């Protein structure tokens, strides 16, 4: 891996993902909170990744391609998947044993992409940017994107004070260097891309946790009420969107 001023941080991230984060119990608690938003997310991803049909695509990461690309019938001309974790690269290769899409897997630091300028039509990733040196990583994404190239990223937001408390109480579920997106990070995206944002989960979080205590099925009247309430609040009172739990960003390079 290329040495850089970020090598110590990169090494910490690499070790954390090679060892594996303790997220199973954490994710189970939030199973009902995200159920309906994940359905919406899947549809948006399916629609947006159609742009990658027959094109050159890069995933920052090596896990999401199976669900996002292969299972949605997206057939890029070339798909490159990078990761700093050898364990996650190996998992990606294992997933590719019986797939139509055969990605090119490389151990690589997303802060210092080893690709030529304007190599890709589409760059995407799931919960990856907040693990990186954010500005440097965005500059690298812009560099390897072709003019008019597109991005798609799903990232956690760190603006909600309750969310900050939850993260402080669950250090085992995250790495020491990760930083959910704040206003500054959202502004950096706007500097480089024409974007559309899809915000996920506000009241769906507490009501989803209650739903998980009451119901086995995450698709119930309580989660549907919370989902529709969140969509309505996002529409009629936009400032509340910054308190949501996640954001899906779609963008086109300026």
Across the chain, what does the average pLDDT equal? 90
231 neighbors 224 (Cβ within 8 angstroms):
no
Return the residue matching tokens 């939030």. 30
Query: In the prediction, which pLDDT does 20 show?
Result: 58
* Calpha distance 209→204 (Å, rounded): 8
The mean pLDDT of 191-220, rounded to a whole number, is: 96
Give the span between the Cα atoms of 137 and 189, in whole angstroms.
11
At a CB cut-off of 8 Å and minimum separation 6, what does 176 contact?
A: 12, 16
pTM of the full predicted structure? Answer: 0.89
Sheet holding 193-200, edge to edge: 104-107, 78-83, 56-60, 120-126, 145-156, 246-253, 193-200
Tell me: pLDDT of 2 over 60. Answer: no
Average pLDDT over residues 166-182: 77
Is the pLDDT at 1 greater than 50? The verdict is no
pLDDT at residue number 79: 98
What are the tens digits of pLDDT across the range 114-164? 999 999 999 999 999 999 999 999 999 999 999 999 999 999 999 998 888
Residue 14 has pLDDT above 90, yes or no: no
Query: All domains of the chain, ordered by start, with CATH?
Result: 7-253 (3.40.50.150)
Q: What CA–CA distance (Å, rounded) separates 120 from 253?
A: 11
């Amino acid at each position: 891996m290329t040495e850089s001023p970020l090598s110590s941080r990169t090494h910490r991230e690499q070790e954390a993902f090679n060892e594996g984060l303790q997220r199973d119990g954490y994710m189970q608690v939030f199973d009902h909170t995200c159920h309906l938003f994940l359905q919406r997310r899947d549809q948006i991803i399916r629609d947006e990744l159609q742009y990658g049909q027959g094109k050159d695509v890069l995933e920052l990461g090596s896990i999401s391609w199976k669900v996002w690309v292969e299972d949605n019938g997206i057939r890029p001309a070339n798909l490159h998947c990078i990761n700093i974790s050898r364990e996650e690269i190996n998992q990606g290769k294992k997933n590719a044993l019986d797939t139509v899409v055969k990605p090119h897997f490389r151990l690589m630091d997303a802060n210092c992409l080893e690709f030529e300028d304007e190599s890709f039509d589409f760059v995407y990733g799931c919960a990856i940017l907040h693990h990186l040196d954010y500005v440097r990583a965005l500059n690298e994404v812009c560099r390897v994107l072709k003019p008019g190239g597109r991005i798609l990223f799903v990232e956690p937001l760190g603006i909600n004070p309750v969310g900050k408390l939850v993260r402080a109480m669950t250090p085992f579920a995250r790495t020491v260097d990760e930083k959910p997106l704040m206003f500054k990070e959202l502004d950096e995206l706007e500097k480089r891309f024409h974007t559309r944002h899809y915000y996920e989960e506000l009241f769906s979080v507490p009501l989803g946790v209650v739903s998980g205590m009451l119901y086995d099925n995450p698709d119930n009247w309580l989660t549907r009420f919370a989902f529709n309430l969140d969509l309505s609040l996002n529409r009629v009172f936009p400032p509340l969107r910054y308190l949501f739990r996640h954001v899906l960003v779609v963008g086109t390079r300026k």
